[in-house]
Amino acid sequence: MTLTGNHLIAGHDIEPESHLFRASNPATGAEMEPAYGEADAKLADAALKEADAAFDDLRMATAGTRAAFLESLADEILALGDALLDRAHAETGLPMARLTGERGRTIFQCKTFAALIRDGSWADARIDTAIPDRQPLPKPDVRRVMQPLGPVVVFGASNFPFAIGVVGTDTVCALAAGCPVVVKGHPAHPGTCEMLARAVYAALEKTGLPKGCFSVVNGRGNAIGVELVKHPVTRAVGFTGSLKGGRALFDVACARPEPIPFYGEMGSVNPVFLLPGALKERGQAIAEGYIQSVTLGVGQFCTNPAVVLGLNNPDLQNFLQHAATSAAAVAPQPMLHRGICDAYNAGTAVWKTIKGLESVGESAAPANSDATQAACRIFSTTLDVLEANEELQREVFGPCSIVTRCESLEEMLRFAGSLEGQLTATIHGTAEDLKDYAPLVRALERKAGRIIFNGFPTGIEPCASMHHGGPSPAATHSFFTSIGTASIYRFVRPVCYQGFPDEALPGLLQNQNPGSAFRLVNSELTQADAG
């Protein structure tokens, strides 16, 4: 595939006019062709008007047609072959093995949502049939089902160019629900974005769906993102990225004359609590797993464990020693781009100036700053120092973490109670620990979207039960997930139909149920017909 550097609007190539930029290889600094351009309000308007024009065709298409499109998209992504992996590797520095696995996850997501919408049960169809002779008043026929919102704007993540990018969960579940999508391409990997976008158009063409269902506009600055969010046609936004960027766009979404839902996933420090029984039984194994989690993806996951708390005793000291040894063995690796690397080094440099924060472990090999490499850095402190310095409680994106010494369960509970909203919280313990520290679990239930026991938060299973979100500021709405099949509920809303003739109802609300979807009929969950 020959890359063009064009904006892709409803299947049309739009050549950029100004403000050209190129992707650069984070390991070498070498710029790559082609050049890409900065989209403006005119292009945002064109893309969203095309999406609005395609909305009725997409939402009225059968579930089978939309499912066939997603299955075709999975095939088209795979058909890009090694060229896709090579370009993504050059633009992000991510290892080929990691990118191969992420491509597999992306294909899996396409097929999973295809199966979900074929079944139909996800749409939560509810049917209450009429009782015309009920006394003292007749009961009307009332039926409800989830319907798509309309055009969705998606901002992909820098750290998952496939699975949370142009064809990531946000895009796939929105299209599955029947919502056209306009993607703001990520400026760090625009070539990868273009390749994936052309795979979407190939799949749309094969299944006869309008190409207005999908567009990609490029840009490095903030202006195009603001234009996309505030456009009157936009009905919802999916965002994965920094707290600063997400909060700014969230405020734009809320300030519109007609506010829209903004589903932002913005990261957290993902605290880990080490309970006494677990540290005594397997402290070394936990320390090794901890360093693996901290450094996974060069620490560029929103779920890397940035803060660890344990009781100040010899077992915690042994844990620290093993963690330091493991950290020293971690070779520095390239980060996604220069900006992230510079922010990581600046953030940990500030940490090193804080009195009472001790550096206890670091990659033995020096990091090559010219190749945007990051070294693993592990620190230790006491709870009073952690609480007194707000900068230690904010995410520094990269392979660093702070082990905090607590003097009692009460100190752990105090910290848990003071936490901002988190994507995850982790507990390492025994069955007896869970009994003794039950109040800690209760406290974390109020703070985190996902609580892990005897594991680590990195490595998210994209399944029906997954919840990747949490209270603010980890996410902008704690009810919704950005990973797993439940993510589709961000882009639909319930519509109730009263008194409609059967043939005029949406298919899932009609009396016949040829697809055998589960529906709530007169308060009974059933796959049977309603009439």
* Catalytic positions, written as ranges: 265, 302
* Residue (of 72, 63, 7, 56) closest to 34 by Cα position: 7
Q: Output helix, strand, coil percentages for the chain, rounded to the nearest 5.
A: 45, 20, 40
Residue entry with tokens 């936990």: 286
Count CB neighbours of 13 within 10 A.
12
**Degrees, nearest 5: CA angle 60-61-64:** 140
Cis preceding linkage at 366, omega within 30:
no
Looking at this protein, which amino acid is placed at residue 51?
A
- Measured CA to CA, the distance from residue 298 to residue 335 in angstroms comes to 6
**165 to each of 157, 158, 172, 456, 459, how far by Cα in Å?**
6, 8, 10, 24, 17
How far apart are the C-alpha atoms of 173 and 163, rounded to whole Å? 12
CB 354 within 8 A of CB 392: yes
Convert 399-442 into a string of H (helix), E (strand) and C (coil).
Answer: CEEEEEEECCHHHHHHHHHHCCCEEEEEEECCHHHHHHCHHHHH
Looking at 61-189, list the stretches that DSSP marks H as alpha helix, in order from N- to C-terminal side. Answer: 63-79, 81-92, 96-119, 169-177
